[in-house]
Amino acid sequence: MLPDKIHRKDLAALLELTPRRIDQMSEDGIIPKSENGMIDFAGAIRALVNRKKEEKMPAVERLNLAKARREERKDRQESGDDISAPIVVRAWEEIAVTWKQRMLRVGNNVQSKVGLTEPQRAAVDEEVRGALGELGKKLNYAAQVAEDEGDEKGIEALK
């Protein structure tokens, strides 16, 4: 029995491609979009078989099909159904910056509200900075994964 979903890295290994190429094929509408790294396995196989069939089409038909797909992708982006990765990354960057700024003020805000002593405020600040440090490590890990996969946009977004 075939799985319903397959991780993009497993699909890449199966097809002897890179995970980045799988992402590009997904972005280009060649295979179904992934959700949390998981791809509809049967849909991806059907799409790849159809692509092989299309490669045997006359050049004019392939060109018309490619133009139609580009138009569909453009329509999805304009309607808001398909948001580009850089836009999502920028939005999350803004959220992260705001969250970090707020978190760095927690010690002072709590101190003024409940009357923490200076050592208590310092302990709260230390915990917040520790949590932010862990988040930074996760972002560094994500950047390393992006680099390992040759994901130039991902590397830039995480710098």
Rg (CA), the chain: 23
Query: What pLDDT band is residue 118 in, cutting at 50, 70 and 90?
Result: very high
CB neighbour list of residue 52: distance below 8 Å, 6 or more residues apart: none
pTM over 0.75: no
DSSP state of 81: S
Count other Cβ atoms within 10 Å, centred on residue 128: 17
Q: Where are the domains of the chain?
A: 5-79, 85-157
pLDDT digits (tens, 9 = 90+) for 55-114: 777 878 878 878 888 888 788 777 776 666 667 777 777 888 888 899 999 999 998 899
Least confident of 13-27, 44-58, 108-122, 134-148: 134-148
Provide the pLDDT for residue 153: 55
Question: Cα(126)–Cα(106) distance, rounded to whole angstroms?
Answer: 11
